[in-house]
Amino acid sequence: MYLHKFLVTGLLLAILSSPGFTQNSIIQKSDSTGFYKMSDVVVTATRTETPLIELANSITIIDSAEIAESKKNNVMDLLKDEYGVDIVQQGGPGKLANVLIRGGNAEHTLVLLDGIEMNMPSDPGNTFDFSNLLTDNIQRIEILRGPQSTMYGSDALAGVINIITKTGTKGNKYFLSGEGGTYNTYKFNGGLNGTYDILNYQLNLSRTKTDGFSSASKKYGNTEKDGASNFTGSFKTGLNLNNDFRLNLFYQHTDADADLDQFGGSFGDDPTYLFNLEENALRMETVFSDYKNTWNGKAGVSYMRNVRKYSFDSTFINPFASDAMYDGKKVKFDIQNTFNFSKPFSLTIGAEHERETALSNYLQFFSDSTAASISPSKNSTTKGIFIEEQSNIADMFFLNMGIRYDYHDRFGDATTYRLAPAFVIWQTGTKLKATYGTGFKSPSLYNLFDPFTGNEKLEPEKSRGWDAGVEQFLLNNKLTAGVTYFSNTFENLFGFDANYKTVNIKKSESRGIEAYISYKPVPGVQVKSNYTYTKTKNLTDNSPDKNLPLLRRPIHKGVISINYSFLKKFNSYFDAVFAGKRDDVIFSGGTTKRVRLDSYVLINLAVSYDMFSYLQLYAKVNNLTDTYYEEVYGYATPGLSLYAGFKLKL
């Protein structure tokens, strides 16, 4: 129980006792030392390019190098290594996978793909399913923690995950890769990347297929394999008309199938349960500025449509059959302008108009009757405006302040705000930071209009949160460490009354500590480690779970990864993930019972060899110790898995 205190205390002592507090390791502001030049620039926190050193936000970056070296095929596998982030998946590949940030619900995380909001309009909670999001065309991922509705509106109560895809680079290149291994799994990826005069382009095609394993764990007697397949194609192009004006276009299509089971645990197997996903995402935008760069802006339109189909037949265990379809789409217009009045001051003003539409059709067949739950096409419109100010005082004190107003045509208006100061002590390489913000989440179309549980009088869910921490840069920036304390309160959460109607009834809180270290002792070696302590509590009045922890959130989580490149041809990547015990529930006979899921450690290893400048061979081992674990009670997870592959670039 004192593990988190021990780790945090040790981290602080290491920082304070480090020989890095010498003149040789002092962070300088000039480009001559390379600090500003080397500092990561992020866009998620402020929607404008801002050096990470100037931001108070708790934000991390997964870059293209880490994606390539880890050899991980799915975005959710990358997110498992990040602090403050938990993954919950109901089975193996292709099965529902959600992300929880800082103890919030899955629907409290906003997911962006090249500026497109990917949260599903036809889902009861407007969540995003990470199970079919591949890494092949991704350049970087930015993870922003804490309430972010001031810049992004609804759904960003706990954080934002911004996924940025690759852009065509100089020259014309072709690429092809293939991989195969355990569970009769194969994967192919190919495409082209390049530029032609003022045009850049990136085309990517991916195909994966696996026989998988039973989603309902074999520990409880389930044996039927649940396979999955995925085809994803994406195209991105940009037209740089001049230094001050360019046009961008991005499109991605996903078609995925998966075999599912009825539930986890005993008798969960269902060989007839099938799932199909068709998803399209499109964005067109213009980026512009004046020749002095005192004013720049962006205007765009995004479109996303997600269609999910489920069907199963009656079996000996399950006496009825079902056929269901959920169709949702989202169209959004947005514009923002940033005015750089002087070095210490800039102002960003933006406006958005979003329309969501969803319909569903659920049929249940018995031997002599049919039950239907049909929700005809419904829609909602949200209009929002926001303003954010960024200040830079003496290159030491940095302040972001913002406020936003949204109007939803169903529930009315919502106002959110954020304050984020950071103070950098260059002489010691220390950054002190803090943030405070509020967030809201609009009721989904399902919450509002479902024939049985819908309630058109719902108000938005709300959150408020703050964090404070310190970051330390040592040994000429070879060593970076940080500690942050966070606290969030979630109110007006959606639940059910005695008549099973959706109402604003629930309340919860989360608080904890996030700590990380990144160390590059010698060229070619990087060691990263992080730890998260998360304490959650259900605060809902008259709930049997009041004052108990929220489900599926481990109190303790720790990660260590080591990347080692040698002889200019070999690379090895190792990571180990520890997740502590957490609560879940068993549904039986119309009642629920709390259970405690065991802690576990997962070890993964990937090695690669550049045989030629254009050909790389690699192999990887996932779950090296063949550990049995559950992220959701009764659902299986992958055991020891071996894969080998190649990457060809011409």
Whether 224 shows a pLDDT value over 80: the answer reads yes
Would you state the structure tokens that stand for residue 169, as one six-digit string?
């680079």
- Tell me the average pLDDT across 623-632: 97
* Domain boundaries, given as residue ranges, for the chain: 3-649
Residue 257's pLDDT band, with cuts at 50, 70 and 90, is: very high
Higher model confidence: residue 409 or residue 368? 409
What pTM, to 2 d.p., does this model score? Answer: 0.93
| CA–CA distance, 645 with 641 (Å, rounded to integer) | 14
Render 260-273 in DSSP notation, one character per residue: --SSSSTT---TT-
Q: What angle do CA 131, 132, 133 make, to 5 degrees?
A: 100
| Residue (of 479, 419, 424, 517) closest to 83 by Cα position | 517
Provide, rounded to the nearest whole percent, the portion of the chain with pLDDT above 90: 86
Whether 56 shows a pLDDT value over 90: the answer reads yes
* Mean pLDDT score of the chain: 92
Whether 500 shows a pLDDT value over 50: the answer reads yes
3-state secondary structure 48-74: CCEEHHHCCCCEEEECHHHHHHHCCCE
Give the side-chain half-sphere CA count within 13 A for 326.
17
Whether 25 shows a pLDDT value over 70: the answer reads no
The residue length of the chain stands at 650
Which residue, chain included where needed, has tokens 């068993």? Answer: 586
What pLDDT does 342 receive?
Answer: 76
What dotted CATH number matches 3-649? 2.40.170.20
Whether 5 shows a pLDDT value over 90: the answer reads no
Q: What is the largest CA-CA distance in the chain?
A: 83
Would you state the structure tokens that stand for residue 307, as one six-digit string?
């269609």
Strand pairing partners for 322? 312, 364
| Residue (of 389, 402, 397, 401) closest to 422 by Cα position | 397
Q: 158, exposed or middle or buried, with CB in 10 Å at 0-12, 13-18, 19+?
A: buried
Whether 215 and 194 have beta carbons less than 8 Å apart is answered as: no
What pLDDT does 589 receive?
Answer: 63
pLDDT digits over 335-370, tens only? Answer: 999 998 777 899 999 999 999 999 999 999 987 788
Q: What angle do CA 161, 165, 166 make, to 5 degrees?
A: 150
| Residue (of 534, 569, 533) closest to 551 by Cα position | 534
Give kind and range of the element (H or E) at residue 493.
strand 479-496
pLDDT digits over 152-182, tens only? Answer: 999 999 999 999 999 999 888 999 999 999 9
616 to 31, 71, 188, 644: CA distances (angstroms):
35, 12, 15, 11
